[in-house]
Amino acid sequence: MPIYTLPDLPYDYSALAPVISPEIIELHHDKHHAAYVKGANDTLEQLAEARDKESWGSINGLEKNLAFHLSGHILHSIYWQNMTGPKDGGGEPLAQDGVGELAEAIRESFGSFAAFRTQLSKAAATTQGSGWGVLAYEPLSGRLIVEQVYDHQGNVGQGTTPILVFDAWEHAFYLQYRNQKVDFVEAMWQVVNWQDVARRYTAAKSRTDVLLLAP
């Protein structure tokens, strides 16, 4: 049975300051993300026990728990890699920085980088309760789309691959930004690692037959 593990941060706790404080990074990674990893592993064990005992009374709750914790683990694993220090990140993806393919895809899918930035910011900042704003590759159309993900797993197009994620849960910003989610989302653009986003876009685009649809 696969066991999920908490990935190491690609930088130290202070690397994203002043956009995100070291205290938030430590708590977010070491406590919250770790809890999703544990939750996914615990749920897999409980499902295995249910199969062994042919006891299916809790299957509905277990399947929901697995979707929640596993999606939380996956999105957070992308989130850490999607960011880099303010001196190296942020701005707009440009061809001269080696991310021209991504930049062109954003223009084709949204009309302009400014339009894309506004849509993703609005999606992240207006999540009701807890959720994410996500830039994803959609394989049926071959274009990029913005998704507003509730919790970690709701309201998602099947088959899409997330390549840039903005965490809009309160634990991602409240210690520093209080209830000003809009301010946090705006600040996030200073630490986007476009090199990582571009690599994810290229990998997602290169995958074929992701969705086997009936002719």
Which residues lie closer than 8 Å to 26 by C-beta, 6 or more apart?
13
Three-state secondary structure call for residue 173: coil
Residue 8 has phi, psi (to 5 degrees) of -70, 150
Q: In what order do the strands lie in the sheet with 161-167?
A: 143-150, 131-138, 161-167
88 is in an annotated binding site: no
Judged by DSSP in three states, 207 sits in coil
Tokens of 65: 């728990």
Q: What is the DSSP string of 91-115?
A: S---GGGT-HHHHHHHHHHHSSHHH
Please say whether the beta carbons of 195 and 94 come within 8 A.
Answer: no
Is 69 marked within a binding site? Answer: no
| CA 210 – CA 10 distance, rounded (Å) | 29
> Which residues are annotated as part of the binding site for Mn(2+)?
28, 76, 167, 171
List residues forming the annotated binding site.
Answer: 28, 76, 167, 171
